[in-house]
Amino acid sequence: MTDDAFPPFTARPPATEIWRRARAAYLTGDSAPVVAERYGLSERSVRRRASMEGWRRCDVDPRDPPPWSRPEPMTRSDFIASQPEYRKLAAACDTDSFLLLFAPAMDDFRRIAFRRAA
């Protein structure tokens, strides 16, 4: 049993944490049956998730940090605070959202649709 497996009779972590650990184990070379047994999942679920999310061991360079360990992406407010030139753009988008929700007019719909399509 590895350190990241869950000891018996303990509270299980959230499903996102279980799948994060299962993915890490799968990409480091453990087979689907081993991962399923270790984390209390069905083998079919592990294989299905690996297929749907594209878990491919050949794509993983062991020297690269896994994507889930990278810093979190910036939120919109953090980005605008770090790049003040985007403040006008954010204000325009907020105005458009307000107009669409609270004061809809056909001219606004056309203008916003054209801008989004462009």
Looking at the 3D structure of the chain, how many domains does it have? 2
Q: Once rounded to an integer, what is the mean pLDDT over residues 36-41?
A: 90
**21 lies in the same domain as 59:** yes
**28 lies in the same domain as 56:** yes
Any domain includes 93: yes
Kindly tell me the burial class for residue 49, based on how many C-beta atoms sit within 10 Å of its own C-beta (0-12, 13-18, 19 or more): middle
- Please check the confidence at residue 49 and state whether its pLDDT lies above 60: yes
Any domain includes 4: no
> Where does the pLDDT of residue 44 fall: very low under 50, low under 70, confident under 90, or very high at 90 and above?
very high
0.75 exceeded by the pTM?
A: no
**55 lies in the same domain as 82:** no
Any domain includes 22: yes
Any domain includes 65: yes
Kindly tell me the burial class for residue 107, based on how many C-beta atoms sit within 10 Å of its own C-beta (0-12, 13-18, 19 or more): exposed
**38 lies in the same domain as 84:** no
**64 lies in the same domain as 33:** yes
**31 lies in the same domain as 52:** yes
* Mean per-residue pLDDT of the chain: 80
Structural domain harbouring 20: 15-69
Express each pLDDT in 16-29 by its tens digit. 888 999 998 898 88
